[in-house]
Each structure stands twice: as structure tokens, then as C-alpha cells.
Amino acid sequence: MVGLGALGLPIAVNLRRAGYQLHVHTRSRSAESAPELMNAEGLSVIRKSTPAKAVEGCEALLLCVSDDTAVQTVLWGDNGAGQCLKQGSVVIDCSTIAPATAKAMAERLAERGVYYIDAPVTGGTEGAKAGTLTVLCGGLESTLQHVSPLLESIGGSIHHFGPVGSGQKVKAVNQVLVAGSYVAVAEAMALGQHLHLPMEQVVKALQNGAAGSWALQHRSEAMLNDHYPLGFKLNLHHKDLEIALGAAKEQQLELPITRMVFEQESELMKEGLGDADVSALRRYLPGPT
């Protein structure tokens, strides 16, 4: 596995718990020594110094990195894994990247007899830790069936949408929904606070009604406390919205709410909130007086 960030590390933990022999590499190297990667006998996963070394002897490479450039670097950069993957192995890419990049990676790997599945995930750090992520897949059905036991150890539901790139297209739809739901919760929390309502009680009353959402249930508390511990970085969601807006532009489709959230995130990133959770969208609105 390459990539041990907020999602990647708990994914790796669940792979180890499922009994997989795991080679790991991450850019910062520090997460490779995380205590939770040790098993009950105190034995840790096998740390590898480069992506190329990480795939030595492996049947599958799972990627969970930040963007298109990172995927390209891991596979084809200096000490990249692409040239070292053995014929018949599979790359499972849980990163969120452009569909065109996924297709390009698949085509290049196919020249070496290596299969590729784009498998972006959704469910936040909570889902990653619990092993209940939703996995959105594009690729050959036979390849997906081959790696389904591995995916079932990290995901609560696995969905196949068609050829390579399809999973990334569905993830773009997901991120548009995330944008709308988060900004709606941010505005609702702001209004309630300005009206001096008992907001914890308000959230409890509303979360199981027509206004309920994952964002309301899991991120309203952060917005009310004006404290944004990392679940999913705002700057990564901003990158994902750029992919979604690009896909919409190709279809000559305007997404005004998504565009508005994209611009709000741009402003918040200028204020140094790029590494905060997406729920920091609440900061775009003034606090109560």
C-alpha cells in the first residue's frame, strides 16, 4: 500500500487486521511506524523506502494518495512502482483523480500486463476506521471479482459502474453532493446561532427528519464549536470540485452551487484553512454577536 494519510492509514490498519501481508510506503515515512499498524504479536507491517520496493513480490498495489500528480509519481516517477509490478497483478487506486488520468494509468499498466481499477472511496475518516467505506469502482468485472475480498476488508459496500474512469465520475457526483450538504449545514448553523437557539437541541431534533444528512450528523458539532479537526482536508475537496466542474464543463452544464462552494473554499484556503476539515466552510460566514 502506498499512501498513509487520513484515509490511507486506517485502510492499511484494516488490511492488516484482515490478515494481508502488507508492504507500506508513504511520502512522509512517519506513518509507516504508526503503532496501530502492529498486530497482536507486536509485529508491524513491512516498511519500504520507495514505491518500487513496496511492490516487490506483491499481487496487488493499493494507492490512496492526494491527486493526479501523486498517482503519476507513485507509478511512473523516480523509483515508481509501475515498472516493478509483476504481470497479472492489480493496481487498486482509491485516490480521487480525473477520469482521464485513471484511463491513462490503466492503458499504460495494461502494456505491462497489469490490471487497474479506479476505486475512490467515500465515508470519511469515520468510515475508513470502521471499515465501512463505500467503494466506487471502474474497471473489468473479472478484475473486481478477483480483488473483492480485499475491498470488502476496507468497505461496507462495493459498487461497479462500468469501465475504468467510471468510479471517478461517480466520485465527482459524490463531491458535488458533499459541497451542497456541507454549505447548507454551515448556513443553517450560522442562522441558528444568530437566532440564539439551543443548537445542540436543534440538531438533535432535525437530524432524523427531512433535513437530516451525514454532514449534519457528523460535522455540525465542529461548526458550532468553530473547531475543525481533520476528517477530509478542505484543499483536497477543492481539488475534487475542480474535477467535477471540469466534467460539467465538458457537458456544457453549469453547477452554480458547486461553483459557489468552490469559490468559498478558495477564499478560505487563502486564509490558511486548506488543511482544516471541509466543515471549516462555516468560517466563511460571520459568527453570532
Q: Are residues 144 and 41 in the same domain?
A: yes
Model confidence pLDDT, tens digit, residues 185-197:
999 999 999 999 9
Q: Could you tell me if residue 3 is inside a domain?
A: no
Q: Which three cell numbers stand for residue 228?
A: 475543525
Q: Are residues 155 and 198 in the same domain?
A: no
Q: Could you tell me if residue 289 is inside a domain?
A: no
Q: How far is CA 231 from CA 94, 132, 140, 171, in A?
A: 16, 15, 31, 17
Q: Are residues 247 and 134 in the same domain?
A: no
In the sheet where 121-122 sits, what is the strand order?
A: 121-122, 133-137, 155-160
User: Which sequence positions are flagged as catalytic?
Assistant: 171
What pLDDT is attached to residue 230? Answer: 85
Output the pTM of the full model. Answer: 0.95
Q: Could you tell me if residue 2 is inside a domain?
A: no
Final residue belonging to a domain, choices 163, 188, 203: 163
**Number of domains forming the structure of the chain:** 2
Q: How far apart are CA 58 and CA 60, in angstroms?
A: 6
Cβ-contact 9, 44 below 8 angstroms: no
Model confidence pLDDT, tens digit, residues 146-195:
999 999 999 999 999 999 999 999 999 999 999 999 999 999 999 999 99
Kindly indicate the confidence band of residue 231, based on its pLDDT and cuts at 50, 70 and 90: confident
Range of the domain at 130: 8-163
Kindly indicate the confidence band of residue 240, based on its pLDDT and cuts at 50, 70 and 90: very high
Q: Are residues 83 and 210 in the same domain?
A: no
Q: Across the strands, what pairs with 10? A: none
Q: Are residues 25 and 147 in the same domain?
A: yes
CATH number of the domain that 207 lies in?
1.10.1040.10
Q: How far apart are CA 107 and CA 117, in angstroms?
A: 11
Q: Could you tell me if residue 1 is inside a domain?
A: no
Q: Which three cell numbers stand for residue 189?
A: 448553523
What pLDDT is attached to residue 39? Answer: 74
Average pLDDT along the chain:
96
